[in-house]
């Protein structure tokens, strides 16, 4: 089965303000995005990567791709105004019946094991949504005020959210609604239930200086090729 990874590296650069988008921040002198691409390339030799870049950082992102050593060249495309539209644009480049991973570029700490797990479960169940338990108690804001929820009933959802292309592509042929909080919710809206799998505690989004420090602690410096 063919494999595509749509790596979502930010919609409009405008939302980020004037600071460098997180996916381009450096860890051991390489951008966060570099590590994310590297893990996917390492996972499967035959994976096709489609990288969705903000228009204003297209050249920056393209330059990172060009120095990656991959069997297939990494394809790049500019994103839309929301994550949904960025994914939609990325999916327009998926050509074949395949397993499609959709992944946040700022989650650079995932491992090849998680990617393999998502692939295998998708082959069996049609989708694989990695989730972890919440360490904190959780409340939901409702019209009646904040309500507490049993912690074990709450799952924090990560990426790569993974699907068979014949489920995912038709699901994304729809107009954007604000209930689409992630790819799983888009697929569910097309009447396909999704399958949850165990995510990785370290597979965090890099969004704060603390996260960047954690990533530096966990990632080995890249080795220079001989």
Interface residues toward a copy of itself, by CB under 8 A: 129, 131, 134-142, 145-146, 148-158, 178-179, 181-182, 184-185, 188, 193-194, 196, 201-202, 204-205, 207-208, 210, 213-214, 217-218
- Residue 42 contacts residue 125 (beta carbons within 8 Å): no
Closer Cβ to a copy of itself, 157 or 169, answer by number? 157
How many CA atoms lie within 13 Å of 54's alpha carbon, on the beta-carbon side? Answer: 22
Closest CA to 74 of 165, 119, 158, 9: 9
Closer Cβ to a copy of itself, 75 or 202, answer by number? 202
* Helix H or strand E segment including 125: helix 112-125
Closer Cβ to a copy of itself, 41 or 129, answer by number? 129
Closest CA to 109 of 138, 88, 130, 133: 130
Tokens at residue 135, please? 């360490």
Q: How far is the CB of 219 from a copy of itself (least distance, A)?
A: 12
10 Å Cβ neighbour count for 30? 16
Q: How far is the CB of 181 from a copy of itself (least distance, A)?
A: 5
Q: How far is the CB of 71 from a copy of itself (least distance, A)?
A: 32
Q: How far is the CB of 159 from a copy of itself (least distance, A)?
A: 9
Closer Cβ to a copy of itself, 44 or 176, answer by number? 176
DSSP state of 73: P
């Amino acid at each position: 089965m063919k494999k595509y990874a749509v790596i979502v590296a930010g919609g409009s650069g405008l939302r980020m303000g004037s600071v460098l988008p997180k996916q381009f921040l450096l860890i051991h002198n390489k951008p966060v995005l570099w590590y994310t691409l590297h893990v996917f390339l390492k996972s499967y030799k035959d994976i096709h990567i489609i990288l969705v870049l903000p228009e204003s950082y297209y050249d920056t992102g393209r330059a990172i791709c060009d120095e990656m050593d991959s069997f297939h060249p990494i394809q790049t495309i500019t994103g839309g105004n929301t994550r949904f539209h960025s994914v939609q644009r990325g999916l327009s480049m998926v050509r074949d019946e395949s397993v499609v991973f959709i992944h946040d570029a700022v989650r650079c700490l995932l491992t090849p094991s998680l990617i393999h797990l998502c692939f295998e479960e998708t082959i069996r169940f049609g989708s694989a949504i990695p989730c972890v338990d919440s360490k904190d108690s959780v409340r939901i804001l409702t019209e009646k005020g904040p309500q507490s929820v049993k912690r074990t009933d709450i799952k924090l959802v990560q990426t790569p959210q993974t699907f068979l292309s014949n489920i995912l592509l038709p699901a994304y042929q729809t107009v954007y609604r604000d209930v689409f909080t992630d790819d799983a919710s888009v697929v569910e809206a097309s009447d396909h239930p999704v399958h949850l799998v165990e995510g990785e505690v370290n597979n965090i989004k890099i969004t704060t200086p603390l996260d960047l420090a954690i990533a530096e602690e966990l990632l080995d410096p890249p080795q220079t090729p001989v």
